[in-house]
Structure 1
């Protein structure tokens, strides 16, 4: 009986979010939004549902995802963007997670506990960013360019006109101000490499 009641409340909540499907149906960014939805479903270990139910569930339960959804719509055609601006009046974005609209971001960006997280960078596919992370400019020379399958963990800072390679993990509270090669784990202030291509090392950047 409890399970049945939970299901009822779940679908009522989904129904309340259903107007947010309008810009999805109109936008030309469907493919990348679907990739985001699938990535979040996997990261959150949610059961597989239809794309519409999954999208609405994420928009209801994961406030950071709503910011990413609005970001995708902003990048799309006028129809989707127009409805996004209308619906944002009612369905507010997450106020403690900032994703700058000038960014270029590949599919599958996952934000875990995005409290006080700021993203101003170009980012590849299937990246994972945690809470209290700052990614952005140091000065007018430029901002970070982040590769594919990069994980930036809690409290890390990635600052300046630098390149973070593919398959990189940035440790908690690390401060990265220099380029990071592919397939590395970096930690510390300033950051240094502790693992490269699966081999333990201790190398300066």
Structure 2
């Protein structure tokens, strides 16, 4: 079988009905590290319903040259489909190419919660330490957003920023919106004790803001 034949076979298998077949195809694509498959792998990331297959697709993309994958993934951030944007952000964070940070940071306020969460994780993974304080300030604008899982994702992103996050979190604890202040207070608790349970931190914040649903 020629290289072109193998690539064609993998492309077909990536679209198979059976998830295990798609998983094997993604593994084979990563093992081959055939850069001609990069556009197909990225396209598949945007539609693949199975978590484990998506994770393998990301691994396969990480095996290719960043000079090829990073520009293509940055273009994917303009997709109209949230999963495509979210998975592109996840893959960029795994590649670890800091030149992608400025574009990744533009997705921090994406209207889709899953995309925003992926952007928060990617941004803290890619930020230059010198820019960590600015990133913390940008992330803090999202305090009070979403359900418990969304709020936990933001808190964890702040924890990853460490000391750079403390000053801005301290300010938001006293925010006029009690929901925002409660989220910031819970985050402050995690910053002080990263092993603390987030639900306990939220409960403490709730008690500090009587009647507020956090």
Query: Under a length normalisation based on structure 1, what TM-score does the superposition of the two structures give?
Result: 0.31
Structure of larger gyration radius: 2
TM-score by length of 2: 0.30
